Amino acid sequence: MNFHAVRAIYLFEMARTWRTLLQSIVSPVLSTSLYFVVFGAAIGSRMTEIQGVSYGAFIVPGLIMLSLLTESISNASFGIYFPKFTGTIYELLSAPVSPIEIVLSYVGAAASKSIILGLIILATAGLFVPLEIAHPLWMLLFLVLTAVTFSLFGFIIGIWADGFEKLQLVPMLIVMPLTFLGGSFYTIDMLPPFWQKATLFNPVVYLISGFRWSFYDIADVSVGISLAMTLAFLGLCLALVWWIFKTGYRLKT
């Protein structure tokens, strides 16, 4: 393992975050704070508690997950796409750096940014609503697993994309709607019976459910199933990354 190369790429990607602090950290935190103000304070004050939890506190895990998914994908996809766009990806591929080291450094940096952002949003949420974390270790586990999984997913999107517009295509048209429909602002028990079953085909439901369970001991699906689905998607992303480097898909042409 070439730790010097991994460290160099990782630090370079992390340095880009501090150079674009307004876009990378401040903007997502302000956007999420607006959700807290609108949904937590304005709307939440007119809603009853959900399974013993105030509405403002109930939506905190969903909002953190919303930011975590979008930022993980964005950070990782742009991180690997930009070297493709400038042509420096060929220097990286010809250097004595293995595919594992490339993935580890780019995905590790993207996941680190998302975890930092998630913790900042969590701290910010405490300013708006009273928070409690029933299972802090499980909360951190779901936070890290989700950040790593969707950073890998973003890495795949960055390699697949052949234009800047495609970098936003999947997050905006697929991931964000699935997150909103995955129980970010409600529990699926509120839905009609048919839609309760249909929602279970949405993979984001399991992420949000498991993450919310770590806070309040309430979940739409079993925490074991949530963890299994997260690990399954992680395994699928790893398999796709292995295939990309094995075949050179959009890397060698």
Q: Are 62 and 180 in contact (CB under 8 A)?
A: no
Task: State residue 45's pLDDT score.
Answer: 63
Q: Is the dihedral of CA 153, 158, 160, 165 positive or negative?
A: positive
Please give the tally of structural domains in the chain.
1
- Examine residue 253 and state whether it is found in any structural domain, yes or no: no
Q: Is the pLDDT of residue 41 over 70?
A: no
CA distance 157 to 179: 18
Task: State residue 90's pLDDT score.
Answer: 83
Q: Which residue has the tokens 């950040």?
A: 147
Residues pairing with 50 in the sheet: 53
Domain that holds residue 52: 3-247
**CB within 8 A of 205, min separation 6: which ones?**
182, 183, 188, 199, 220, 221
Q: Is the pLDDT of residue 40 over 80?
A: no
Mean pLDDT across the chain, nearest whole number? 87
CA distance 243 to 214: 34
- Examine residue 252 and state whether it is found in any structural domain, yes or no: no
- Examine residue 105 and state whether it is found in any structural domain, yes or no: yes
Note the pLDDT tens digit of each residue in 61-120. 998 998 899 889 988 999 899 888 888 888 888 888 888 999 999 999 999 999 999 999
CA distance 127 to 130: 8
Candidate from 15-24, 134-143, 195-204, 223-232 with smallest mean pLDDT:
15-24
Task: State residue 31's pLDDT score.
Answer: 79
CA distance 132 to 211: 13
Task: State residue 112's pLDDT score.
Answer: 94
CB atoms within 10 A of CB 249: 14
Q: Are 131 and 57 in contact (CB under 8 A)?
A: yes
CB atoms within 10 A of CB 231: 12
Q: Which residue has the tokens 């234009």?
A: 163
- Examine residue 85 and state whether it is found in any structural domain, yes or no: yes
Percent of the chain having pLDDT more than 70? 95
Q: Is the pLDDT of residue 36 over 90?
A: no
CB atoms within 10 A of CB 13: 23
- Examine residue 187 and state whether it is found in any structural domain, yes or no: yes
